């Protein structure tokens, strides 16, 4: 196994240009290096001599950091997030392949990919809800633009289905299958632009000699019955697809569904009830601004009440804080799922594990650590629930002592305060 990676390392010329191209860094320094290499290659071709390019050094790391920062300093887009996620999966696949083998590494990586897919789909739903707010937030405006673009694509999906089929993303496999079937049974004339059906039923009917009795039924089926069926089925699928898929995969197929997928999927379903409160709270703030505050400001021609402007600024800050915190927590869960790890959040994690049970520690496919489950097995009773169990659920006594000491201080203070009331 290790010889395979050694051969790859020997075949790849690890110079500064190769590393910069791997990370997609294009800046002035990289262009200078590239132009110098082209010039040296021309000299080598004339003189039949081989010269070494610049080697990897600390300057290479500096160029990588600067190049990546230039790409994300004005905000993250969905494409940037996908690039980061797949890069993490690739690095994790290599590490697991060295630790175990290619087969085990592939299985574990696919499990993490499926769990991360669930969080990523949830992230897309959230940015679609917050699209009008994200455009106004400086660092998140690219996500808002992507959300508006996805929204407009979904509205035009029936009218321009063949054109939009080129933009189907990897996270919507059913839509990909739908466009594959549509393109397989239709043919568009390049000159007239007319669409012809080339499915077996249409081909049989086109070859019939007597079509007077069949054509009305055919057109009624293709123009009314089938579109109405797909529209009704689409609405039904949009409402119940998540619950149906969850029940089939995690309940009926519990034996074949990894614990990591069941844990994250159940956690997402539980937090969905709480997230609705935050989303509609933001909607109510926006409604209060648009209907109450903004008309009052626009109606005042001679004198603008400064208190109204202050209220608008405070509410804008509150909206930006809630949306950023909400999306930050989703990113937190997304990167944990991609890395095959768990995290702790009081009340929600307990309810999640009431549905699916504790993590099986004997399987290498069950994911990372769950320190809170270890404490339950040891019958450790606490006065208040802990809010932090370390990075990736590995415990907080060794790797995050500052937050742990701060938490114990708060817990001891609350205990003393309750004792005063008991007296």
**DSSP string for residues in 148-194:** HHHHHHHHTTTTTHHHHGGG--TT-HHHHHHHHHHHHHEEE-TTT--
> Model-level pTM?
0.68
Which residue in 334, 327, 338 sits closest to 140, CA to CA? 327
Q: Is the dihedral of CA 47, 49, 50, 51 positive or negative?
A: negative
Q: Where are the domains of the chain?
A: 2-100+142-252, 259-422
**How far, in Å, CA of 197 to CA of 185, rounded?**
6
Q: Going residue by residue through the chain (423 aa), what tens digit of pLDDT does each one get?
A: 444 444 444 455 556 666 566 556 654 444 454 455 445 544 454 444 434 445 556 666 666 667 666 766 677 888 888 888 888 898 899 999 998 899 999 999 999 999 999 999 999 989 988 988 888 888 888 888 888 887 776 665 544 544 445 556 655 666 667 777 777 777 766 677 677 777 777 777 777 766 667 777 877 887 788 878 877 877 777 777 778 888 888 888 888 899 999 999 999 999 988 898 999 999 999 999 888 888 888 887 677 778 888 888 899 999 999 999 999 999 999 999 999 999 998 889 889 998 888 888 888 888 888 888 887 777 766 656 677 787 788 876 544 455 555 566 666 767 776 676 665
């Amino acid at each position: 196994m290790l010889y395979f990676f050694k051969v790859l390392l020997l075949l790849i010329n690890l110079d500064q240009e190769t590393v910069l191209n791997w990370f997609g860094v294009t800046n002035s320094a990289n262009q200078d290096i590239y132009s110098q290499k082209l010039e040296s290659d021309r000299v080598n071709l004339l003189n039949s001599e081989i010269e070494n390019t610049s080697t990897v050094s600390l300057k290479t790391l500096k160029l990588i950091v600067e190049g990546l920062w230039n790409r994300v300093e004005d905000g993250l887009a969905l494409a940037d997030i996908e690039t980061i996620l797949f890069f993490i999966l690739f690095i994790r696949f290599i590490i697991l392949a060295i630790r175990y083998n290619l087969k085990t590494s592939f299985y574990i990586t696919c499990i993490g990919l499926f769990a991360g897919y669930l969080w990523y789909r949830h992230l897309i739903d959230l940015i679609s809800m917050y699209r009008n707010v994200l455009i106004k937030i400086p660092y998140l405006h690219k996500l808002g633009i992507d959300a508006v673009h996805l929204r407009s694509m979904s509205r035009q999906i029936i009218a321009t289905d063949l054109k939009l089929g080129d933009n189907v993303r990897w996270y919507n496999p059913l839509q990909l299958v739908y466009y594959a079937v549509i393109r397989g049974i239709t043919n568009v004339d390049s000159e007239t632009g007319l669409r012809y059906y080339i499915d077996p039923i249409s081909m049989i009917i086109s070859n019939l000699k007597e079509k007077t009795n069949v054509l009305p039924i055919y057109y009624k089926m293709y123009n009314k019955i089938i579109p109405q069926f797909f529209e009704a089925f689409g609405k039904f699928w949009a409402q119940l697809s998540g619950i149906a898929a969850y029940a089939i995969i995690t309940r009926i197929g519990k034996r074949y569904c990894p614990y990591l997928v069941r844990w994250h999927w159940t956690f997402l379903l539980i937090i969905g009830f709480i997230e609705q409160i935050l989303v509609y709270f933001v909607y109510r703030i926006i409604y209060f601004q648009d209907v109450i505050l903004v008309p009052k400001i626009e109606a005042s021609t001679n004198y603008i009440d400064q208190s109204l402007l202050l209220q608008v600024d405070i509410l804008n800050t509150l909206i930006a804080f809630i949306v950023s915190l909400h999306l930050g927590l989703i990113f937190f869960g997304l990167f944990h799922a991609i890395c095959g790890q768990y995290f702790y959040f009081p009340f929600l994690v307990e309810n999640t594990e009431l549905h699916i049970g504790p993590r099986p520690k004997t399987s290498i496919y069950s994911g990372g650590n769950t320190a809170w489950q270890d404490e339950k097995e040891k019958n450790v009773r606490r006065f208040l629930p802990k809010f932090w169990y370390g990075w990736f659920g590995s415990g907080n006594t060794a790797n995050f002592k500052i937050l742990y000491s701060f938490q114990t201080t708060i817990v001891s203070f609350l205990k003393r305060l309750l004792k005063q009331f008991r007296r």
